[in-house]
Amino acid sequence: MSEPGSEHKRRASLSPQPQRKAPRLAAGRARALGLPTRGTTNANRLRRVDRWLLATQVPRLRDAARPLVVDLGYGSSAVTTLELVGRLGPEVNGLEVVGLEIDPERVTAVEADRDPPRVDFRVGGFELADLRPVLVRAFNVLRQYDEESAARAWDTMRAALAPGGLIVEGTCDEWGRRSAWVALDAGGPLTLTLAARVSDIATPSDLAERLPKALIHHNVPGQPVHEFLRAFDAAWAAAAGMSAFGPRQRWTAAVGSLGEQGWPLVGSSRRWRHGEVTVRWSAVAPVQR
């Protein structure tokens, strides 16, 4: 389940009612919820979100009785799932990572990469194949869906989490230079993170094209996420003098200015130097009109 392309002219939807046709099965029992996507992926594409997971979620995994991670929609190759294992494994004893794909042929194709319980691959979708993970990474999965269906997918995944579990759902470009993701738990969304190769952007609002489905259609005047990006662009412009020291220093100064303006930033300022900023969801959540 990787990003199906940039045009997204035809939006998929999840029916609130079961389909009559014979369902695919995940883990031999549960119906796999969702639709297959193009499946393209690249090595190191998800490095930015993985670095964030490594910096922020290791304690959650270490505290879990069973540190189970689901990589939902790994695509046509196992590369990004194996990279996730390689990044988190040295920090978490007993780590288990299960890659899920709704297309059985993709699961068969990565049979040689299985090494259970350390890493495994199964057929499954938003129901998470009856697993109870502590952490879910769902990247480039929901861009093809309409907003209502994406919200239902959130609800389905949240219901399958282990107690204290977290979902990280977002999108990135094909080379992983521009990313955005939402962290949500059983209670709902918590934060929005933007991450970029800062030398690759002209303004922070360039990342708007990577906003998760829950936000991308709300980047219009009067909506909080639009105001956040507008404020970020203004702070970026004001920090132009820092460009002499490099784009990362300019990004860091701009993010610091956002905090001074009262935007509720989350996490250590050390992450800013990596081209990241995390803000509380309450500050960017869509406003219904």
Q: Give the predicted TM-score (pTM) of the model.
A: 0.87
Nearest Cα residue to 184 out of 143, 213, 155:
155
Q: Which residues contact 287 (CB under 8 A, 6 or more apart)?
A: 222, 223, 224
What does the CA dihedral 192, 276, 40, 150 come to, rounded to 10 degrees? 0
Category of 80 on φ-ψ map: left (φ > 0), alpha (ψ -120 to 50) or beta? alpha
What digits encode the pLDDT tens for the residues 238-249? 999 999 999 999
In the 3-class helix/strand/coil scheme, how is 236-280 assigned residue by residue?
HHHCHHHHHHCHHHHHHHHHHHHHHCCCCECCCHHHHHHCEEEEE
Nearest Cα residue to 245 out of 207, 277, 273, 224:
273
Report the C-alpha gap between 98 and 117 in whole angstroms.
Answer: 8
What digits encode the pLDDT tens for the residues 97-111? 999 999 999 999 999
Q: Which two structure tokens, joined as six digits, stand for 210?
A: 């990577």
- How far apart, in Å, are the Cα atoms of 238 and each of 22, 96, 196, 199, 272? 58, 45, 19, 17, 17
Contacts made by residues 220-223, CB under 8 angstroms, sequence distance 24+: 222/287, 222/289, 223/286, 223/287
Report the C-alpha gap between 124 and 102 in whole angstroms.
Answer: 5
Report the C-alpha gap between 239 and 241 in whole angstroms.
Answer: 5
What is the residue whose two structure tokens read 């784009």?
247
How sure is the predictor about 33, in pLDDT bands with cuts at 50, 70 and 90?
low
CB 197 within 8 A of CB 68: no
Of 19 and 230, more confident: 230
What digits encode the pLDDT tens for the residues 248-280? 999 999 999 999 999 999 999 999 999 999 999
